[in-house]
Amino acid sequence: MAETKKSFTETIWDFFCSLKLAIILVLLLALTSIIGTVILQNGSPADYIREYGQANYELFKKLQFIDMYHSTWFIGILALFSVNLICCSIKHFPRVWKFVKEPTLVASSAIFKGSANRAEFSCKGSKQQIAEQISTLLKKEFAKTTLTEKDDKLYLFAQKGIYSRFGAYITHLSILIIMAGAVIGNVWGYKAFVNVVEGTSVDQVRSRNNTGLIDLGFTVRCDDFDVSYYPDSNRPKDYTSDLVILENGEEIVHKQIEVNDPLTYKGIKFYQSSYGPAGNPFFKVKVTENATGEVAVVKAHQGKHVQLAGGYSFAVTNFTENDRNFGPAMQLHVNTPDGQHGAPFVVWQNHPQFDVKRGGIFSFELLGHEQTYYTGLQVAKDPGVNIVWAGCFLIMFGSLTAFFFSHKRIWISLEDDGKKTKVLIAGNAHRNQPGFSLAFDDLEQQIEATVKTESPKKEG
Amino acid sequence: MDSGQFFNLTTIAYFAAMVLFFAYIATKNKTVALIATLTSFAGFLIQTIALGLRWYESYQILGTDGRAPLTNLYESVVFFAWSILLIYLLMDLKYKQRTIGAFVLPIALFSMLWAQMSLHSAIDPLVPALQSNWLTYHVITCFLGYAGFAVAFGVSVMYLLKIGKEEKHQGKEPLGGIFGMFPPCKVLDDMNYKAIMIGFPLLTLGIVTGAAWAYYAWGTYWSWDPKETWSLIVWFLYAAFLHARFTRGWVGRRAAWLSVIGFAATLFCYLGVNLVLSGLHSYGSG
């Protein structure tokens, strides 16, 4: 009974550890991801019904294709993939750790016989002498050596690039870190948006997942929104908003944001995202009461009366951007205090002196025809983003280490062979064997040359 | 001379190089192979000049709004051709397998012809969303990655063409005919892996820089838009390729087929998404 139970857990463990599962999951993720690129995501029911019909829409809803990247089954595959990554790493890591903790200092005869890269020669000189010469050479050309004496033989061991064995683990760990960062961002962060009319402020933003309004904990004011265009074209060059952050009525931060340059305050970022007109355009009109010389600048909406001194009022009734080459012009009339409609007249923006000559009770000057805009801001708080960047950095570091470096090891044994010393050399790289082969041959020739030329001199 | 004329010269050079590589396979004349390689190198140099010139011209036309020539479909297709040549020539330096050119140059030539003949090549100023340094890093890394996969694809096609003949071939003399000119299948398999090994980290970096840029422009580093998702699909495919190779010994035929499928997905990610699907990268189709 106990035995079957053990083998069952073992089966489960092996299943989660297997690389086959990893490859199947990765291919499954690749394949299923296509669905969301072909079927519209997060659309309205009407969109789907129009495109695919009612029956298919119901099917899509059941299969969670409407928001498939956040569906239970897709998250499930991702979760299984994470478990698989963790299990794989747990299973294989001790083996790699053993390379660090217990390097094979003394090579077995199997290593010398079975290695793809090996050499054997005899030369004059004592074991100790030769060991010293080879150590000096390897330290210069390859890596520091470790000397072990066993069974009347001398063994040398040198290795390089052991860290590259960890490259794959760092890469796998970094994928988990990125996923963790994404989870943190989703749980403790939010994505929201808000429209701020020029000159007004907000302290709440609307969540993108329809969870209602979110309190910012401070106030954001938009002083100005502006679109600039490239010269002689209607291609927009920049959308900018002058934002001010206020806390307790105090202005803390001023920043002009634009696309690709957001404002960050207390971990919350404000991105320039859209814009639009707020309310109807208005006329900025300067009114001078000719008797007193008193001046007032007023806002007038087309068709709406604006009160003036002494019970008079005026209304703008028409506007054109270009009146017979005189430029922008408005048509207006003045009502008397008892409501009598005065005769309409025209005021040209570029020729303010004309209306002074008209000789009415008031003279008017058109300062501008303006439109108030709102700026559309994306608001995002993502406490996990730095973890994601750390993961991205690690994934680059890890994959480069894993691909372009390899753990290279060289073993040498020296034993007495009559009056001479027999030298056995073996080498191994855990990746890029052809490249290592060349380096090994080169190194082996250097060793041979060194011990064969230097030994006799020292003896003599 | 303006950059357009240099690009025309580039196209001619790539065409000539391709024909010379074909001639090499037909004639087995090593001198022809050398001339073919030198011609592709000359084409690459001319294209490098052309890219630099177009960069310079953008400042002349747009003043301070000038930018690196990596911003629309025309410029990206041209840069794709340049990247392919760069990766190809680097691999040629190492392997000196001249027949590869006959299978890689056509991809670069086709890109250049398509760009020159039917894409909008005017130097337009950038819309606000593209005004970012991340654009340059993102495009360069992605396209060098794609180029690695393109070279791997060319080599894999050669492998798949040759392997059947090599397996059937008996006797001690090496395989004759056209396929005898190809590098041994073992070498082709190794080159396939090496090219993907170059492409994969670059694609990874391309995705990372894209995420960083998206974060600065839109406030979210990943939004599952079709382009992002397809780049991840491509990444998954090559990740599967590498793992299958490292640990399950998927070499040879299966590796070559995976490489072909991977490149098809790469092309869809690059062009299909813009031309067929819609998403945040829609300005790429201009």
Tens of pLDDT, residues A103-143: 999 988 888 888 889 999 998 888 898 999 999 999 999 99
Q: What is the pLDDT of residue A458?
A: 44
Render pLDDT for A1-39 as a digit per residue (tens, 0 to 9).
445 566 888 888 888 888 889 989 999 999 999 999 888
Q: Which residues contact B60 (CB under 8 A, 6 or more apart)?
A: B66
CA distance A21 to chain B (A): 11
The verdict on A363 and A424 lying in the same domain is no
Please tell me whether residues A291 and A259 are part of one structural domain: no
B61 CA: distance to closest CA in chain A (Å): 11
B277 and A37 within 8 Å at the Cβ level: the answer is yes
A194 and A258, same domain (yes or no): yes
Run of H or E including A242: strand A236-247
Does residue A140 lie in a domain region? yes
Q: In what order do the strands lie in the sheet with A294-301?
A: A294-301, A282-289, A362-370
Rounded to whole angstroms, the Cα distance separating A327 from A303 reads: 21
Domain finish residue from A51, A66, A94: A94
Give A 42-71 residues with CB within 8 A of chain B.
Answer: 69
Is residue A395 assigned to a domain? no
Q: Which residue has the tokens 């003036």?
A: A308
DSSP A460: -
CA distance B241 to chain A (A): 9
> Do the chains contact at B215 and A238, CB–CB below 8 Å?
no
CB within 8 Å: A26 and B240:
yes
Task: Kindly give, in sequence order, each residue whose CB lies less than 8 Å from that of residue A5, ignoring residues fewer than 6 positions away.
Answer: none
Q: Is there a contact between A23 and B240 if contact means CB atoms under 8 Å apart?
A: yes
In the 8-state DSSP scheme, what is residue A165? G
Are A82 and A14 in the same domain? yes
- Percentage, residues of chain A above pLDDT 90: 54
Residues A87 and A6 both lie in one domain: yes
- Answer yes or no: is A84 within a domain: yes
- Please give the interface size between A and B, counted as residue pairs whose CB atoms are below 8 Å apart: 108
Q: Average pLDDT in the A341-346 region?
A: 90
Is the model's pTM score more than 0.80?
yes
Each residue of A165-207: pLDDT tens digit?
999 899 999 999 999 999 999 999 999 999 999 999 999 999 9
Domain that holds residue A327: 282-371
- CA B14 to chain A, closest CA, distance in angstroms equals 31
On the question of pLDDT at A345 being above 70, the answer is yes
Q: Kindly tell me if the per-residue pLDDT of A42 is higher than 90.
A: no
Residues 6 or more apart whose Cβ sits within 8 Å of residue A218: A203, A245, A246, A247, A252, A265, A266
Mean pLDDT (whole number) for A383-403:
94
Chain B residues with CB under 8 Å of A261 CB are 216
Q: Which string of DSSP letters, residue by residue, matches chain B?
A: --HHHHHHHHHHHHHHHHHHHHHHHHH--HHHHHHHHHHHHHHHHHHHHHHHHHHHHHHHHHGGG---S-SSHHHHHHHHHHHHHHHHHHHHHHH--GGGHHHHHHHHHHHHHHHHHHS----PPPPGGG-SHHHHHHHHHHHHHHHHHHHHHHHHHHHHHHHHHHHH--SSSPP-HHHHHSPPHHHHHHHHHHHHHHHHHHHHHHHHHHHHHHHHHHS-S----HHHHHHHHHHHHHHHHHHHHHHH---THHHHHHHHHHHHHHHIIIIIHHHTS-STTGGGG-
Please indicate, yes or no, whether residues A8 and A85 belong to a single structural domain of this protein: yes
**Nearest CB to B243; choose among A22, A36, A379:** A22
A37·B229 Cβ contact <8 A:
yes
Looking at the domain assignment, is residue A347 inside a domain?
A: yes
Q: In Å, what is the CA distance from A371 to each residue of A115, A225, A226, A300, B6? A: 81, 11, 11, 12, 48
Considering A73, A94, A115, which residue would you say is the last residue of a domain?
A94
Q: Is the pLDDT of residue B89 over 60?
A: yes
CATH number of the domain enclosing A151: 3.30.310.80
Contact A142, A380 (CB under 8 A): no
Q: Based on the domain organization, do A195 and A259 belong to the same domain?
A: yes
Chain A positions in Cβ-Cβ contact with residue B216 (cut-off 8 Å) = 260-262
User: Does any domain span residue A391?
Assistant: no
* DSSP secondary structure of A115-164: -SEEEEEEESS-HHHHHHHHHHHHHHHT--EEEEEETTEEEEEEEE-GGG
| 3-state SS assignment for residue A307 | strand
What are the C-alpha distances in Å from A146 to residues A60, A102, A103, A150? 65, 13, 10, 13
Q: What's the gap between Cα B280 and its chain centre?
A: 23
Judging contacts by C-beta atoms under 8 Å, the chain B residues touching residue A240 are none
Residues A115-118: contacts with CB within 8 Å, 24+ apart?
A115/A426, A115/A427, A115/A428, A116/A428, A116/A433, A116/A437, A117/A426, A117/A427, A117/A428, A117/A436, A117/A437, A117/A440, A117/A441, A117/A444, A118/A424, A118/A425, A118/A426, A118/A427
3-state secondary structure of A8: helix
Cβ separation of B273 and A37 shorter than 8 Å?
A: yes
Q: Is A195 helix (H, G, I), strand (E, B) or coil?
A: strand
Q: What does the alpha-carbon distance between residue A101 and residue A116 come to, in Å, rounded to a whole number?
A: 25
Residue environment code for B122-131, b if the CB has 16+ CB neighbours within 10 A, otherwise e: ebbbbbbbbb
Is A386 part of any domain? Answer: no
Question: Percent helix, strand, coil in chain A (nearest 5)?
Answer: 40, 35, 25
State CA A433 to chain mean position distance.
36
- In this prediction, residue B282 carries a pLDDT of 52
Residues A397-434: tens digit of each pLDDT: 999 998 888 999 999 999 988 888 999 999 998 887 77
pLDDT for the residue A374: 93
d(CA B213, CA B136): 10
Report if residue A401 sits inside a domain. no
Mean pLDDT of all residues belonging to chain B: 91
Asked whether residue A112 falls in the same domain as residue A85, the answer is: no
Report the domain count for chain A.
4
Cβ contact A399–B201 (<8 Å): yes
Q: Are residues A443 and A365 part of one domain?
A: no
Do A90 and A110 sit in the same domain of this protein?
no
Over range A314-339, report the average pLDDT: 89
Structural domain contains residue A255: yes
Nearest Cα residue in chain A from B258: A27
Out of B132, B190, B201, name the one closest to residue A396 (CB): B201
Question: B272: distance to nearest CA of chain A, Å?
Answer: 11
